[in-house]
């Protein structure tokens, strides 16, 4: 048995019935330092409607929270905004217990639920379509590729609540259900991390979704709440998270330069530190991220507003260190736009790692500021000065990009 779990009332006849996953530290490769929540919502209209479910292992908790308000058998409709398993993993169990009259999803969601679970009876809702719940209604907004083809948002007009699923969410476990009860700095940090790691590749679609919602009258000013499927609900200053999204989608880049590296015997680290000194001399904000101490998803978060990405690896067996291959593969998939950068590393025989990093940076369309720096065995003072020079060159490029001239 799941034990006692209560629903949380969030509006008139609307309840949070989700689950908090306090111990989660890895979400498909994203380090969730603060855990997460899977938010599901129950709307008590004539047709009792559940919006989304939770990750599979939390199915009984979801059922217990529903049961604190109504018998799960009273659920008439289930709306699946998104088929990814963290929201649909408990769907089969809910269907088994609640036996709803209907399950709804976007057109692509119907396909995804069929292919994931063999569900044949899911009904498609149209983009912009309205579902009458009896005394309440839901309007659906497709959000294709934000971040799956099936993703959609549901709007409860009578309470002015946007159930936004992954959009505007964050991985943050808390007993507080509302953003205004939490530290604003933590909210911005975790929302930025979520955006960088989940939504960044689809940034061009974000302003289009905001415009499309506005076209349907769903603006931050008109909304009473944004209720995402991870992290807290926004009920005050709802525009805050929407404005953050607009800023992150624009990929505005500042004077921050990342130096991301790993090292075998300390030579590449000496180079990294010299590059950092050069960046600071040039007026950039340097952030060194040694990969033994920096998770790939934290690097991605820093990339969100960094102007430069400088990557270093010694050569190991003709290639880069596995940690460096990992982070570059991950970042390439996130498709950040508009950065400058460079490569560096120590070697013993041929120094292939630097060329491989340059190729990967080129694939990511990171503009190379100068040729990569290779140092045999251990950097001497001349080599370290070259590294400081790379740092200064990157800083100069960042100043130019910000219209502050190239400086001395
Ligand atoms: Fe929270 Fe895309 O699932």
Instruction: Kindly report, residue by residue over 143-152, the tens digit of the pLDDT.
Output: 999 999 999 9
DSSP letters for 122-179: EEE--TT-EEE-SS-EEEEEE-TTSSSTT-EEEEETTTTEEEEETTT------S--BG
Cα separation, 264 vs 347, whole angstroms = 10
Cα separation, 147 vs 126, whole angstroms = 18
Question: What's the pLDDT score for residue 243?
Answer: 97
Please give the average per-residue pLDDT across 104-121, as a whole number.
97
Question: What's the pLDDT score for residue 236?
Answer: 97
The atom number, within ligand 1, closest to the CA of 165 reads 1
Please give the average per-residue pLDDT across 167-182, as a whole number.
98
Residue 379 contacts residue 408 (beta carbons within 8 Å): no
Question: What's the pLDDT score for residue 102?
Answer: 98
Chain segment 352-369, per-residue pLDDT in tens: 999 999 999 999 999 999
* Count of beta carbons in the 10 Å neighbourhood of residue 139: 19
Cα separation, 309 vs 335, whole angstroms = 13
Question: What's the pLDDT score for residue 404?
Answer: 76
Chain segment 25-78, per-residue pLDDT in tens: 999 999 999 999 999 999 999 999 999 999 999 999 999 999 999 999 999 999
* Ligand 1 centroid to residue 6 C-alpha, Å: 24
* Ligand 1 centroid to residue 151 C-alpha, Å: 9
* Phi, psi for residue 229 in degrees, rounded to 5: -95, 0
- Cα-based distances in Å from 40 to 18, 166, 271: 4, 12, 49
Cα separation, 171 vs 194, whole angstroms = 7
H/E run at residue 212: helix 205-215
* Ligand 1 centroid to residue 32 C-alpha, Å: 13
Which tokens sit at 98? 């609640």
Question: What's the pLDDT score for residue 158?
Answer: 97
Which tokens sit at 109? 């969601």
Residue 139 pLDDT exceeds 80: yes
Q: Which residues contact 152 (CB under 8 A, 6 or more apart)?
A: 81, 82, 105, 106, 109, 125, 127, 140, 141, 142, 143, 165
Instruction: Compute the residue count for the chain.
Output: 408
* Ligand 1 centroid to residue 45 C-alpha, Å: 26
* Ligand 1 centroid to residue 298 C-alpha, Å: 19
Q: Which SS3 state, helix, strand or coil, does residue 386 take?
A: helix
- Cα-based distances in Å from 317 to 267, 321, 347, 352: 17, 9, 10, 9
CATH of 8-250, one of 3.10.530.10, 3.60.15.10, 3.40.50.720, 3.40.50.300: 3.60.15.10
Cα separation, 24 vs 20, whole angstroms = 9
Residue 405 pLDDT exceeds 70: no
Asked if the domains 8-250 and 256-398 are classified in one and the same CATH topology, the answer is no
* Count of beta carbons in the 10 Å neighbourhood of residue 126: 11
Q: Give pTM, 2 decimals.
A: 0.96
Residue 122 contacts residue 96 (beta carbons within 8 Å): no
Which residue, by CA, sits nearest to atom 2 of ligand 1?
A: 84
Q: What value does the mean pLDDT of the chain take?
A: 97
How does strand 41-44 pair with strand 367-368?
A: unpaired
Nearest CA among 126, 71, 125, 128 for reference residue 100: 71
Question: What's the pLDDT score for residue 408?
Answer: 41
Q: List, by residue number, the catalytic residues.
A: 28, 82, 84, 86, 147, 166, 194, 230
Q: What are the structural domain ranges in the chain?
A: 8-250, 256-398
Cα separation, 393 vs 385, whole angstroms = 12
Q: What percent of the chain has pLDDT over 90?
A: 97
The atom number, within ligand 1, closest to the CA of 147 reads 2
Which residue, by CA, sits nearest to atom 1 of ligand 1?
A: 166
* Ligand 1 centroid to residue 182 C-alpha, Å: 22
Cα separation, 130 vs 302, whole angstroms = 40
Looking at the chain, the number of H-run helices and the number of E-run strands are 12, 22
Query: pLDDT band at 402, cuts 50/70/90?
Result: confident
Cα separation, 165 vs 152, whole angstroms = 7
**Pairwise pLDDT comparison (253 vs 404), residue with the higher score:** 253
Chain segment 299-351, per-residue pLDDT in tens: 999 999 999 999 999 999 999 999 999 999 999 999 999 999 999 999 999 99
The atom number, within ligand 1, closest to the CA of 169 reads 1
Which residue, by CA, sits nearest to atom 3 of ligand 1?
A: 84
Query: pLDDT band at 282, cuts 50/70/90?
Result: very high
Q: Which residue has the tokens 């959000």?
A: 143
Question: What's the pLDDT score for residue 295?
Answer: 98
List all residues whose CB is within 6 A of at least one atom of ligand 1.
82, 84, 86-87, 147-148, 166, 229-230
Cα separation, 124 vs 140, whole angstroms = 11
| CATH dotted code for 256-398 | 3.40.50.360
Q: Which residues contact 161 (CB under 8 A, 6 or more apart)?
A: 10, 11, 14, 155, 223, 224, 225, 226, 227
Which tokens sit at 395? 């800083």
Residue 6 pLDDT exceeds 90: yes
């Amino acid at each position: 048995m799941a034990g006692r779990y209560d629903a949380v009332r969030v509006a008139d006849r609307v309840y949070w019935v989700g689950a908090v996953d306090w111990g989660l530290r890895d979400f498909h490769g994203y380090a969730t330092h603060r855990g997460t929540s899977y938010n599901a919502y129950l709307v008590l209209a004539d047709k009792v409607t559940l919006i989304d479910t939770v990750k599979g292992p939390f199915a009984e908790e979801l059922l217990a929270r529903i049961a604190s308000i109504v018998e799960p058998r009273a659920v008439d409709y289930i709306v699946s905004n998104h088929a990814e398993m963290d929201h649909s993993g408990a769907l089969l169990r809910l269907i088994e217990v609640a036996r709803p009259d209907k399950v709804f999803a976007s057109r692509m969601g119907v396909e995804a639920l069929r292919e994931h679970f063999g569900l044949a009876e899911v009904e498609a809702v149209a983009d912009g379509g309205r579902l009458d719940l009896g005394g309440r209604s839901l309007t659906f907004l497709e959000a294709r590729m934000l971040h799956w083809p099936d993703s959609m948002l549901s709007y409860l007009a009578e309470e002015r609540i946007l159930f936004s699923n992954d959009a505007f969410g964050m991985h943050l476990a808390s007993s507080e259900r509302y953003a205004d009860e939490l530290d604003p700095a933590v909210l911005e940090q975790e929302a930025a991390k979520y955006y960088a790691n989940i939504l960044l590749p689809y940034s061009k679609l974000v302003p289009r979704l905001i415009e499309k919602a506005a076209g349907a009258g769903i603006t931050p000013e008109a909304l009473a709440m944004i209720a995402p499927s991870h992290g807290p609900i926004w009920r005050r200053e709802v525009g805050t998270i929407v404005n953050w999204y607009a800023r992150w989608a624009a990929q505005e880049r500042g004077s921050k330069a990342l130096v991301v590296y790993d090292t075998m015997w300390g030579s590449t680290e000496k180079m990294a530190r010299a590059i950092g000194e050069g960046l600071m001399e040039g007026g950039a904000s340097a952030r060194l991220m040694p990969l033994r101490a920096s998770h790939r998803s934290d690097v991605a978060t820093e990339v969100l507003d960094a102007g430069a990405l400088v990557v270093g690896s010694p050569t190991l067996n003709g290639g880069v260190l596995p940690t460096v291959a990992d982070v570059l593969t991950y970042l390439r998939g996130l498709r950040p736009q508009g950065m400058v950068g460079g490569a560096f590393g120590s070697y013993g025989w041929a120094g292939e790692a630097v060329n491989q990093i340059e190729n990967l940076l080129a694939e990511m369309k990171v503009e190379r500021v100068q040729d990569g720096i290779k140092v045999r065995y251990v950097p001497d003072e001349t080599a370290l000065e070259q590294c400081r020079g790379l740092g200064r060159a990157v800083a100069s490029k960042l100043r130019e990009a910000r219209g502050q001239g190239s400086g001395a």
